Amino acid sequence: MPEHTAAADFAALLRELKDRSGLSYGVLAKRLHMSTSTLHRYCNGDAVPADYAPVERLARLCKAHPEELVELHRRWVLADAVRGRKGAAAAETSPEEAGSGTGPGQEASEAAPPAEAASAGAPPAAPVGADTGTSPAPARRRTRTAVLAGIAVAAVAAGVALAVGLPGGGSDGDGDGGRHRPVGAAGVTAEGTAPASSSPPSSAASPSSPAKDTGPARTPAGSAPAGAPSGEGQKSGVPVTVRAEPYAWESPCSQRYLADKPASEMKPPPLEEGAAAWVAAHGAVSSGQQYLRLTVQGTGPETVVVDGLTVRVAGKRAPLAWNDYAMAYPGVGCGGGVQTRAFAVSLDSARPSLTPEPGNEDFPFKVSESDPEVYYLTASVSAYDVDWYLELKWSSGDRSGTLTVDDEGRPFRTSGNKGRPAYEFPIGGDGWVPEGTTKLE
């Protein structure tokens, strides 16, 4: 879909919701904690938000219907994907082009970063000292390119070494609490991309080693697998991508986190878009339940069937003996719309499995590049501290496979909070207080 069309369609619906609300740009911007000019750019199609969280909050402020929320997310995904392709195309500028017309001191600083140059598929530089029949200046540029390429290869190799394999659950109930765990968008691993006629990947993966060390390296969520740009799923063998948001909130009232810190050392509750950074800063773990938003999109025009999602448990221990912090400010109303494609899973079960929420359809679903799907998963637990991940089974024509969806190479982690000291943060207060002690006027 052309960039202007995707961005314009997204902005049109955003503007329609804003106009229908009767609220001014200034009022909405103040409630969303953003500048009026930024909100203008979103609604005019001059910019696409990098995160969906502020878009959803804007839509809810404008009283969007559940169907409109789903459609708005679909349009944002398309606009964001086109913007990503534009960024990738910009990175394809060759080092010679990037350095032309600049002085010696500018070439290295203004050239594309090593990782971007590598991902863009830049041609390898000529070996240092090779007779190329060119002037010394281009030779120096090629030398710099060779050095940068070497750095890029080393960085990619280190990233692959760190990403391969999911760790099993430890026996210590307190564990690391996610202190050193990468947070943000989830990682996606291709577990099987062979044609359907070949042997399918085994579904009886060991809980302690859900990913094979010999499997392909993980790809960042939301990007085309194996570095293939959108539309080249046929070449990569995986015609579908998954963007996972493990720190999405169904509503602030339902979101809680456990942290191994006293209330005096905890920062105030974040907004949803700041949840991942807040969790990382405090080494926190989702408490009682985890709300996971998955966006599944094809990488080309062909239809891909999402056959199902399977929950895999990588580790199960006694619940964490940490403090429980509520994200909602006392006295602030909460509410969440009824989502389509919503599923629930109890991690307390011996064999957890997804169940469609009442009124929702079950798998399979169809996706393509222009028609993504969004799934909302609510994982609940009370008796354990659980490490878990998902396996998404897909098929397209004579190809099929499985994608492992996790938290950037680590399992998702959700712990029960029964009997734990609970805290809340009063509006206008300067710290956390025991839950239930706040007096509302």
Give per-residue pLDDT as tens, 297-321: 999 889 999 999 999 999 999 999 9
Lowest-confidence segment of 32-46, 98-112, 370-384, 409-423 by average pLDDT: 98-112
Q: Which amino acid is at 167?
A: P
What pLDDT does 339 receive?
Answer: 59
Q: Cis bond leading into 364, ω under 30°?
A: yes
What pLDDT does 34 receive?
Answer: 84
User: What is the per-residue pLDDT across 247-256, written as a single tens digit (0 to 9) for each?
Assistant: 999 877 789 9
Per-residue pLDDT for 97 more than 80? Answer: no
Q: Which two tokens stand for residue 179?
A: 């202190």
What pLDDT does 267 receive?
Answer: 94
Residues 6 or more apart whose CB falls under 8 angstroms from that of 375 comprise 293, 294, 296, 309, 341, 342, 343
What pLDDT does 282 receive?
Answer: 96
For the entire predicted model, the pTM comes to 0.55
- Contact between 398 and 387 (Cβ < 8 Å): no
User: What is the per-residue pLDDT across 212-229, written as a single tens digit (0 to 9) for each?
Assistant: 333 333 433 333 333 333
Which 3 state secondary structure label does DSSP give 90? helix
Tell me 364's DSSP state.
Answer: -
What pLDDT does 148 receive?
Answer: 46
- Contact between 225 and 298 (Cβ < 8 Å): no
What pLDDT does 293 receive?
Answer: 93
d(CA 299, CA 285): 33
Average pLDDT over residues 278-300: 95
Average pLDDT over residues 2-9: 77
Look-up: residue for tokens 């064999």? 351
Q: Does domain 3-91 have CATH number 1.10.260.40?
A: yes
Per-residue pLDDT for 286 more than 60? Answer: yes
Confidence of residue 189 (pLDDT cuts 50, 70, 90): low
d(CA 415, CA 319): 5
- Contact between 183 and 279 (Cβ < 8 Å): yes
Q: Which two tokens stand for residue 375?
A: 């799934």
Three-state secondary structure readout of 254-299: HCEEEECCCHHHCCCCCCHHHHHHHHHHHCCEEECEEEEEEEEEEC
User: What is the per-residue pLDDT across 25-49, written as a single tens digit (0 to 9) for each?
Assistant: 888 888 887 888 888 889 998 889 9
Domain spans, the chain: 3-91, 187-434
Per-residue pLDDT for 64 more than 60? Answer: yes
Tell me the C-alpha to C-alpha distance, in Å, between residue 238 and each of 54, 207, 232, 269, 424.
31, 25, 9, 39, 45
Q: What number of other Cβ atoms are within 10 A of residue 324's Cβ?
A: 21
